[in-house]
Structure formats: C-alpha cells, structure tokens
Amino acid sequence: MPDALQFPIIDLSFPDRFSIANLIRQGCVDHGFFYLVNHGVDEELISKVFEQSSNFFSLPIEEKMKLVIKNHRGYTALYAEKLDTTLTTEGDSKESFYIGPLADDLNQWPLEEDLPSWRSTMETYHQKLLSAVTKLLSLIALSLKLEEDFFEKVGALIEPLAFIRLLHYPGDLNSSSEEIFGASAHSDYGMVTLLVTDGVPGLQICREKSKQPQVWEDVPSMSGAFIVNIGDMMERWTNGLFRSTLHRVLQPRQDRYSVTIHPFLFTCSVISCVICSWGRKIEMLSPVIAHCSFYHSFIVLKSSITIMQMFQVAFFTNPSKDCIVECLESCCTESCPPRFPPIKAIDYLEERLRLTYGLYCYFGLEIAELPSWRSTMETYYQKVL
C-alpha cells in the first residue's frame, strides 16, 4: 500500500506573512501540494455545496443531460473524460458539473423549482473561493521573492478564469479492471486548485513523473482544510521550481464497504456476499457463512449495503485570458534558462482542454463545437442507459 503524506499547513490568517510564504515555498517545491486552513469559507457553506452537489447528481440522467457541457459550463457524464490518454479504458469513472466566472452569463443552471437555492449556493461559494485564492496568490508571490500584488500587475486577476467543478465518483461494483480510475493520472492546467473532499479516501500523488515504476502516495483529507495544488501554468511561471504534480483519484471499490464482524456461527438468509478481513470478496451465496481463521470470526456484508461513492468540489484558478505566462526573472539564470516559451493563458488552456474533450473555443470566445459532437454525446449516454 502507498504511504500516507503530510503536507505543510498554511494558515491564511497568520499575521507573519513572510513565514507563511516560506512554508508555501517549501510545499510547492517539495510536493506541489499543501493544506489551507482559516481560509474564510464557512463549514456551513461547504456542507451546503456538498448537499446541493448530491442533489444534482441524484437527478435522472435525462435531466442532467439537459445541461450537458457547453462553453466549459455544465454537466459531463460518466466516461466523458479520460485524463490519462495512455490508458486503454473508455474513460474516467466520474461525472461532474462546471460553474465558471459569474460575470459572463455563460453558466448553465438547474431550474429553481427543481433544485431550490442551488444557484445561489454555488454563486456564493464561487465568490468566497475567489476571495480566498486572491489572498493566497499574494502569499505565493511573496514566496517567489515578488511583490504581493505581482499577479494583479501582470493582469492575471483582471478577469480570472475561475471554475467550480462539482465531482461525483459513483463507484462500480461490477468493475474488475485495474485501469478504471475516478480520475486517471494528470496534472492541473492552471495556477492553483483548491479541493475539498467528503473524507472518502482515494486521492493520490506521484511526485516524480518520469520515474519508473511510478510511486503513488495517499493524500489524507483534513477536516476544515482545502487541499491546494500547483497547476501547469504556475509551473511554467516558476520555470519548474514549483511542481505541478501528477495526481489521480482511485475509484471507490467494493472492498471499502462496511462490514459486521460476528464472533460466532449462525444462519442468516439476507446475505448477498461476504468479504474476508483481507478484503477478498466471496460471491453471492445465500445463506452464507465465511470463516476467517486469523481473527476467529465471521465477517458478513448484508444485502442492505449501498455502493461506496465519493464527492469532491474543486476550484480551478486560471489567469485572465490575455495574461502572458512567461518565466519569472527570479526563476532563471544563465545556467538555468527558461524551459517554456511565453504563452497567452487562453491559448494554453484551450489547447489542453481541446485535447481532453475535443472542443474548440472552450471559453466562449467563438463557440464552435466539433461537427455533431454534442448530438453524438447525448445519443451515446442515452444508449448507455
């Protein structure tokens, strides 16, 4: 099993900003990840976001498909995305919903009568997260020996392309493939990502992208904290000093189900399957009794179980579309010249998203889908049902 990690804990309210900036630098250089606490986002609001996320993903597929992704806003269904294109599987086992900048009026929303307060909850969350990220970026600037308002001065925060992504990993009791992931291996595209989870484990990182075999380490969730990771554009800005770390999400699997341990023999007629203490599943016997000699006990999984699922909410922060991302002077020398050419933020993002989803002009500059893409996807998911 992979080892669990502990990242630096960044307190956004701590008065000694230079000490916190140094701690951020350590986390970004060593891991590309850290925890963020005292961020100003109420636990009550976060709980409401998870509740509303669950409400949406519980809708029938035909209702969710009415809001299928367009202009990088809306619903993406199971297997619509494969982040690791080297895999032979059909796609990642997750569904999601994107909510972008609130000012451009391109977001898609469920009807208020179907999901009351859904839109207002997400808009409030977007505003709160953007405020927290703005404060965080000033500390990241300090960690790079820059002025606190550096990212504002270069135009990154004029109209940042900031997106909420609601994520649902439903799990799959029938899947036996080791290559099925909730989110296959990838790095994020933008500046920084703030992630909050429901506590279900599954997030892993690989600190050395090119090392073989790859070593994956579990990322524990922390109550009240965001998990923050550096994206590809921040890595470009810092000439590779800050890591945009490869990460993935394991699919919720059947061996995570809760079990009842019975230290005596008995007969029961409502057992659908049995899981031994080392995690092996014994298929569909009724009545069933399995003996685990190591613990001298019987471990029973009853038919009333529900499939393990996982919810996450990510907040992706990308620079304003016209911002030029180029190597910082403090991050290059004669012996370490710039590794990446300057690039406009929107050009970089649209190319990365086109490769992932097959869409052109993803952020609504010129709405032009690939021919028949939308109708093909809608038909496909109806057939899959």
C-alpha 216/C-alpha 147 separation (Å) is: 35
Is 199 in the same domain as 336?
yes
C-alpha 304/C-alpha 301 separation (Å) is: 8
Is 262 in the same domain as 245?
no
Q: From the first residue on, what is the mean pLDDT of each consecutive set of 10 residues in the chain (385 residues)?
A: 76 96 97 97 98 97 96 92 84 94 95 97 98 98 97 96 96 63 93 95 90 90 96 97 95 46 35 34 35 38 57 97 95 91 94 70 43 56 56
Q: What is the pLDDT of residue 296?
A: 38
Is 51 in the same domain as 114?
yes
Q: Is residue 2 part of a domain?
A: no
Is 285 in the same domain as 156?
no
C-alpha 79/C-alpha 382 separation (Å) is: 13
Q: What is the pLDDT of residue 75?
A: 97
Q: Is residue 353 part of a domain?
A: yes
C-alpha 38/C-alpha 234 separation (Å) is: 23
Residue written as tokens 């451009």? 104
Q: Is residue 237 part of a domain?
A: yes
C-alpha 244/C-alpha 204 separation (Å) is: 14
Q: What is the pLDDT of residue 305?
A: 43
Q: Give the count of alpha carbons within 13 A of 100, CB side only.
A: 22
The whole domain housing 275 covers 258-302
Q: What is the pLDDT of residue 28?
A: 98
CA dihedral (7, 8, 12, 14) in degrees, to 10, reads 160
- Contact predicate 203/247, CB 8 Å: yes
- How many other C-beta atoms lie within 10 A of the C-beta of residue 113? 6
Residue written as tokens 């086992």? 93
Q: What is the pLDDT of residue 385?
A: 56
Domain boundary among 302, 337, 362: 302
Q: What is the pLDDT of residue 268?
A: 36
Is 277 in the same domain as 169?
no
Q: What is the DSSP letter of 263?
A: S
Q: Is residue 1 part of a domain?
A: no
Q: What are phi and psi of 273, to 5 degrees?
A: -165, 165
Is 313 in the same domain as 268?
no
Task: Tell me if the bond preceding 213 is cis, omega within 30° of 0.
Answer: yes
Token pair for residue 186? 């990838």
- How many other C-beta atoms lie within 10 A of the C-beta of residue 299? 18
Is 229 in the same domain as 330?
yes
Residue written as tokens 């009545």? 287
C-alpha 190/C-alpha 232 separation (Å) is: 6
C-alpha 61/C-alpha 381 separation (Å) is: 8
- Pick from 28, 375, 5: which is nearest to 205 by CA? 5
Is 179 in the same domain as 270?
no
Is 16 in the same domain as 84?
yes
Token pair for residue 89? 């599987």
